[in-house]
Structure 1
Amino acid sequence: MTSSPATAPLSYKIAVLVFLENHAGEHLLLLRAKPPNLGIWSPIGGKLETAIGESPFECAVRETFEETGHRVTAADFHLFAMIAEKAYEGHSHWLMFLFRCTVPLAALPPTIDEGKFGFFSRAAIDVLPIPETDRNALWPIYDQYRDRFVALKADCAPGQPIVVEIEQITPAPR
């Protein structure tokens, strides 16, 4: 028995996003030249190399160097969030690990195959073309939890409002 495309299970992808700042506190974003998020701004990141057992921290280190040339170690990252996104754009599920790099980036990286870079103030990001989940979930999560840790889940089914639920906050709110 075969499944029709409408009822076929969605794949599950595991990835990291890295939130980098320069010395002025501006955030590095990449204007994506490839899907997903083609033509819109987002933090750097990428998929874990699961075939080699890469950890989320190893992936953050690798992606940061590959995309920006910024040499950092796992100790230079703070994992501030994990979010499970169901049915992102109706194509797949994502388990995303969100990292804040504690070592500022000295200069704007050169353009790469993935896209071109820009530094933006936090306020400027609110008016940029960014993914809906970034606007409604990821940046508010960054604003509130960047120095802590939060686990979330989000239902991103197409045609429905994105619903984000907190599953755990560490340390627990007082």
Structure 2
Amino acid sequence: MLAAILAAAALVAGAFFASAGLRGSDSDEATLQGLQIRVLNVSQAAAENRLDGALAALDALENDLEAAAAGGLVSASRYRGIEAALSSVRAEITRHIEAQAAAASAAKATAVAAETPTTDASATQSQPVPPQPESPAAAPAPESAPQGPGLPEAAKDSRGRTKGTGKP
């Protein structure tokens, strides 16, 4: 869409440069052709989405147009017509840059919102947890021999007795 608008504005500016009805002794033909080529360069840069470059080229073109008018190479009436067409081009480029900046800002805000946690629990998780000092692992307690009802009577009676010599 931007390319179509800029192309239309360039055609309007071109009409001021190349119109046979407007061409006369009041403006230098070579100067007008040079300015017309530069208008096409501006519109091409804009069509390629190099909007900052297009604005810089437009600034230089407007400065050269003013110098040509001051030097008598472009008549005052032609200068006003060309300047109006270039102002239209500038307004379209500026609107497009602002729209791109707003879209980029909205996309960034959406991305940040998607990354930002929404609960307080996640906020505490993001804080570093201090390392806990390691305590030596406690050795398991040795199992004592079961006493009581788990042993057969013969085993209970033999506790504390030693085998004598020659006893099985």
Calculate the TM-score normalised by the size of structure 2.
0.21
Higher-strand-fraction structure: 1
Computing the radius of gyration from Cα coordinates, the structure with the larger value is 2
Q: Which has the higher contact order (CA 8 A, sep 6+)?
A: 1
Calculate the TM-score normalised by the size of structure 1.
0.20
